[in-house]
Amino acid sequence: MSAEHTAHGEGHHHHITPLSHYFAVFGALLVLTAVTVWIAQFHFGAANTLIAMLVATIKASLVALIFMHLLYDDRLNSLTFLFGLLFVALFFIFTLTDVYTRGFIDPVRDNHYLRDEQVAQLKLAAEAQQDLPAQYPKKTIGEDYPVAEDERVNPPAPPPPPAPPAAPATDAEGNVIAAPEEAPKPAFAVDPAKAEQGKALFASKTCAACHSLDGSKLVGPTMKGIWGRKEVMADGSEVIVDQAYWLESIKTPNAKVVKDFPPAMPVLPVSDEEAEAILHYVNSL
Amino acid sequence: MASGSEGGFWLPPQGSTAAGGVDGLFDFIYWLNVFFFVLITGAVVYFVMKYKRKSDDQLATSQVGHNTLMEATWTFVPLILVIVIFAWGFRTYLNLTVAPEGAYQVKVTGQKWSWNFTHPDGTVNTGELHVPANRPVKLLLSSRDVIHSFFVPDFRIKQDAVPGRYTTAWFQAKAAGEHQVFCTEYCGKDHSAMLAKVLVLSEEEFDAGKWKVSKPPEGMSVADWGGDLYNKVGCKACHSVDGSKLVGPSFKGLFGREEKIQGQDPVMVDENYLRESIMDPQAKIVEGFAPAMPSYKGQLDDAKIDAIIEYIKTLK
Amino acid sequence: MWLFLVTEVLLFSGLFVAYTVIKSINPVMWAEASKTLDVTMGTVNTLVLITSSFTVALATRVAQTNKKGEKNGQLVGLLAATVLLAGCFLVVKYFEYSHKIHMGLLPGTHYFYNGIDAANPHLFFGVYFLMTGLHGIHVVIGMIVLTWVMLRAMKGHFYEDYYTPVELGGLYWHLVDLIWIYLFPLLYLV
Amino acid sequence: MNATTTQAAVDHADAPYEVDYLNCKKGIRHWLITVDHKRIGVMYLWSVIASFLLGGVLALLIRAELWGPGETIMGPDTYNRVFTLHGLAMVFLFIIPGIPAAFGNFVLPLMLGAKDVAFPRLNLASFYVYVVGSVMALWAIIAGGVDTGWTFYTPYSTGVSGSVMMMTLAAFVLGFSSIFTGLNFIVTVHKMRAPGMTWDRLPLAVWAFYATAIIQVMATPVLGITLLLLAMERALGVGIFDPQLGGDPVLFQHFFWFYSHPAVYVMILPGMGVMSELITTFARKTIFGYRAIALSSIAIAVISFLVWGHHMFVSGQSAYAGMIFSFLTFLVAIPSAIKVLNWVATLYGGSISLETPMLYAIWFLILFTIGGLTGIFLGTMGTDVHLHDTYFVVAHFHYVMMGGTVMAFFGALHYWWPKMFGRMYNEKLAKIAAWLVFIGFNITFFTQFVLGSRGMPRRYYDYLPEFETLHKISTSGTWFLGVAVLMMIGYLFSSLKKGEKAPANPWGARSLEWSIQSPPIEHNFHEIPTVVEGPYEYPKAGAKA
Report the CATH number at residue D350. 1.20.210.10
Q: Which domain holds residue C105?
A: 2-189
Instruction: Look at residues D487, D480, D403, D483 and name the one whose alpha carbon lies nearest to residue D439.
Output: D480
B162 and B94 housed in the same domain: no
Smallest CA–CA distance from A262 into chain B, residue: B237
Please say whether the beta carbons of B48 and D282 come within 8 A.
no
Highest mean pLDDT among A243-247, A255-259, B72-76: B72-76
Work out the minimum CA distance from D459 to partner chain B, whole angstroms. Answer: 7
C-alpha to C-alpha distance for A229 and A241, rounded to whole angstroms = 6
Residues making up chain C, counted from first to last: 190
Inside any domain, residue D207: yes
The rounded mean pLDDT for chain D is 87
Instruction: Work out the angle at residue D265's Cα, subtended by the Cα atoms of residues D263 and D266, and round it to the nearest 5 degrees.
Output: 60
- Residue D455 reports pLDDT greater than 80: yes
Pairing mode of beta strands B104-111, B114-118: antiparallel
Say whether A209 and B122 touch across the interface (CB within 8 A): no
Say whether C57 and A2 touch across the interface (CB within 8 A): no
SS3 D41: helix
DSSP D484: H
Percentage above 90 pLDDT, chain D: 50
Top-confidence residue, D437 or C116: D437
Substitution target in D232, D240, D318 with the highest count of C β-carbons within 10 Å is: D240
- Residue C93 reports pLDDT greater than 80: yes
Minimum mean pLDDT range among B205-209, C4-8, D183-187: B205-209
CATH of the domain at B181: 2.60.40.420
In angstroms, how far apart are the furthest CA atoms of chain C? Answer: 64
Top-confidence residue, D380 or B63: D380
Phi, psi of D422 (to 5 degrees): 70, 20
Please say whether the beta carbons of C48 and A127 come within 8 A.
no
Mean pLDDT, residues A70-97:
86
Say whether B294 and A161 touch across the interface (CB within 8 A): yes
Inside any domain, residue D526: no
Residue A121, sorted as left (phi over 0), alpha (psi -120 to 50) or beta, turns out to be alpha
Scored b (16 or more CB within 10 A) or e, D481-517 reads bbebbebbeebbeebeeebeebbbbebebbbbbbbbb
Specify the pTM.
Answer: 0.79
Substitution target in B118, B165, B301 with the highest count of A β-carbons within 10 Å is: B165
Phi, psi of D203 (to 5 degrees): -60, 150
Residues D24-41: tens digit of each pLDDT: 777 777 788 888 888 899
pLDDT at C180: 92
- Residue A84 reports pLDDT greater than 80: yes
Sign of CA dihedral B294, B193, B132, B154: positive
Inside any domain, residue B217: no
CA within 13 Å, CB half, D380: 28
Percentage above 70 pLDDT, chain D: 96
pLDDT at A262: 59
DSSP B152: E
- Using CB atoms, pick whichever of B58, B64, B88 lies closest to residue D541: B58
Top-confidence residue, D454 or B113: D454
Domains held by chain D: number: 1
C-alpha to C-alpha distance for B123 and B298, rounded to whole angstroms = 7
pLDDT at C37: 82
B111 and B201 housed in the same domain: yes
- Residue A146 reports pLDDT greater than 50: no
Residues B1-44: tens digit of each pLDDT: 444 556 778 888 888 888 888 999 999 999 999 999 999 999 99
A165 alpha-carbon distance from chain centroid: 24
pLDDT at B252: 81
Q: Which residues of B touch A206 (CB under 8 A)?
A: 292
- Using CB atoms, pick whichever of D160, D351, D369 lies closest to residue B40: D369
Say whether B186 and D330 touch across the interface (CB within 8 A): no
Domains held by chain B: number: 3
D145 alpha-carbon distance from chain centroid: 25
Substitution target in D230, D238, D253 with the highest count of C β-carbons within 10 Å is: D238
Domains held by chain C: number: 1
Say whether D165 and A176 touch across the interface (CB within 8 A): yes
pLDDT at A175: 40
Listed in order, strand segments (DSSP E) in chain B are 104-111, 114-118, 124-126, 128-132, 136-143, 148-152, 157-161, 167-172, 177-183, 196-201, 258-259, 267-268
pLDDT at D505: 84
B227 and B206 housed in the same domain: no
C-alpha to C-alpha distance for D19 and D16, rounded to whole angstroms = 10
B187 and B247 housed in the same domain: no
Residue A94 burial (CB < 10 Å; 0-12/13-18/19+)? buried
pLDDT bucket at A122, cuts 50 / 70 / 90: low
pLDDT at B101: 84
Work out the minimum CA distance from D88 to partner chain A, whole angstroms. Answer: 19
> Is D352 in the B-facing interface, judged by CB distances under 8 Å?
yes
Is there a cis peptide before residue D519, judged by omega within 30 degrees of 0? yes
- Residue A39 reports pLDDT greater than 80: yes
B111 and B87 housed in the same domain: no
Residue A24, Cβ neighbours under 10 Å: how many? 13
- Residue D4 reports pLDDT greater than 70: no
- Residue A144 reports pLDDT greater than 80: no
Inside any domain, residue B291: yes
> Is C165 in the A-facing interface, judged by CB distances under 8 Å?
yes
Q: Which domain holds residue D403?
A: 6-515
DSSP tally for chain A: helices H, then strands E: 7, 2
- Strands in B136-143's sheet, in edge-to-edge order, are B124-126, B114-118, B104-111, B136-143, B167-172
B3 and B90 housed in the same domain: yes
- Residue D142 reports pLDDT greater than 50: yes
Residue D295, Cβ neighbours under 10 Å: how many? 15
Percentage above 70 pLDDT, chain B: 90
- Residue D272 reports pLDDT greater than 90: yes
B34 and B123 housed in the same domain: no
C-alpha to C-alpha distance for D277 and D180, rounded to whole angstroms = 25
Work out the minimum CA distance from D457 to partner chain B, whole angstroms. Answer: 5
Minimum mean pLDDT range among C165-174, D386-395, D514-523: D514-523
C-alpha to C-alpha distance for A201 and A195, rounded to whole angstroms = 10
> Is D237 in the A-facing interface, judged by CB distances under 8 Å?
yes
Percentage above 90 pLDDT, chain B: 16
Say whether C10 and D221 touch across the interface (CB within 8 A): yes
Helix or strand run (H / E) with residue A230: strand A230-232
Residues A147-191: tens digit of each pLDDT: 333 333 333 333 333 333 333 334 444 444 433 433 344 456 666
CA distance between the termini of chain C: 33
CATH of the domain at C159: 1.20.120.80
- Residue A137 reports pLDDT greater than 70: no
Q: Which domain holds residue B278?
A: 222-314
Q: Which residues of A touch C166 (CB under 8 A)?
A: none
Mean pLDDT, residues C126-151:
91
pLDDT at D7: 39
Listed in order, strand segments (DSSP E) in C18-172 are none
> Is C2 in the A-facing interface, judged by CB distances under 8 Å?
yes
Minimum mean pLDDT range among A13-22, A176-185, D129-138: A176-185
C-alpha to C-alpha distance for D343 and B131, rounded to whole angstroms = 54
Please say whether the beta carbons of D286 and B200 come within 8 A.
no
A192-284, superfamily in CATH? Answer: Cytochrome c-like domain (1.10.760.10)
Mean pLDDT, residues A194-203:
68
C-alpha to C-alpha distance for D511 and D194, rounded to whole angstroms = 13
Mean pLDDT, residues B172-182:
89
Q: Which residues of B touch A164 (CB under 8 A)?
A: 234, 237-238, 247, 292, 294
DSSP states of D349-394 as a string? T--B---HHHHHHHHHHHHHHHHHHHHHHHHSHHHHHHHTTBHHHH
